[in-house]
Amino acid sequence: MGQFRLLARPLWVSLLLFIPLALYFAWRKRGIQVPGRQQLFGAIFAVSFGFVGTAVAVDLSAAAGLLPGYTGTLSEVQSLARATQPETLLIDQVPQSLPTVYLLRESATIVMLVGVALLAASKARERRAVFLWTFPLWDISYYAGLWAMIRWPTSLFDLDLLFFIPVPWVAQVWFFCLQVSSRWLSWV
């Protein structure tokens, strides 16, 4: 478990927290008109795809040798993941090919979430809202899947590479949780 860090790297990532807040104030007068059925199907897709993303991330990490105990059982991987320092593994030992693969995986995920938003709503503001609804659900299910599969993150203070587009975003897991909360605030 690391010490608390207020800001993400690069610094501009920290400023992204204000985009949903700005949208909330822009949208609050007219509201968002997305039927519950579209919200439900978007949520099902996002959560399902978050778990797919987790499986891919675990597979890639194991193939790159970054997942301790990857040749053993899943319970051995879980035990060893708790004992390692993810901060060191993530930042210092990531093979150069892996960020490219993750960037492509994340790009494809964003394209899929945009596709769901385009299918779920006909107006641009509702499409943005659906994207802001599905993106955090995807994020949450990704981290829930990581915890379920390998028992990581072990703490909200664990460092993670949150995203690779356009550059790696490094922050503690609590920062991710705050981002998710701010995205949902724009929807409510």
The answer on pLDDT for 87 being more than 70 is no
Could you tell me if residue 45 is inside a domain? yes
Strand blocks (E) in the chain: 159-163, 169-172
Could you tell me if residue 5 is inside a domain? no
pLDDT tens per residue across span 3-20: 888 888 888 888 877 877
Could you tell me if residue 4 is inside a domain? no
Could you tell me the two tokens for 158? Answer: 């664990």
Could you tell me if residue 1 is inside a domain? no
CB 81 within 8 A of CB 68: yes
Quote the pTM value: 0.79
What are residue 170's phi and psi, to 5 degrees? -115, 125
CA atoms of 38 and 59, how far apart (whole Å): 31
Could you tell me if residue 20 is inside a domain? yes
Tell me which long-range contacts 66-72 makes (C-beta under 8 A, separation of at least 24): 66/93, 66/94, 66/98, 67/150
Domain count, the chain: 1
Domain around 101:
11-28+36-187
pLDDT tens per residue across span 120-158: 999 998 998 899 889 888 988 998 999 898 888 888 888
104-108, 123-127, 161-165: segment of lowest average pLDDT: 161-165
178 conformational bin, left if phi > 0, alpha if psi -120 to 50, beta if neither = alpha
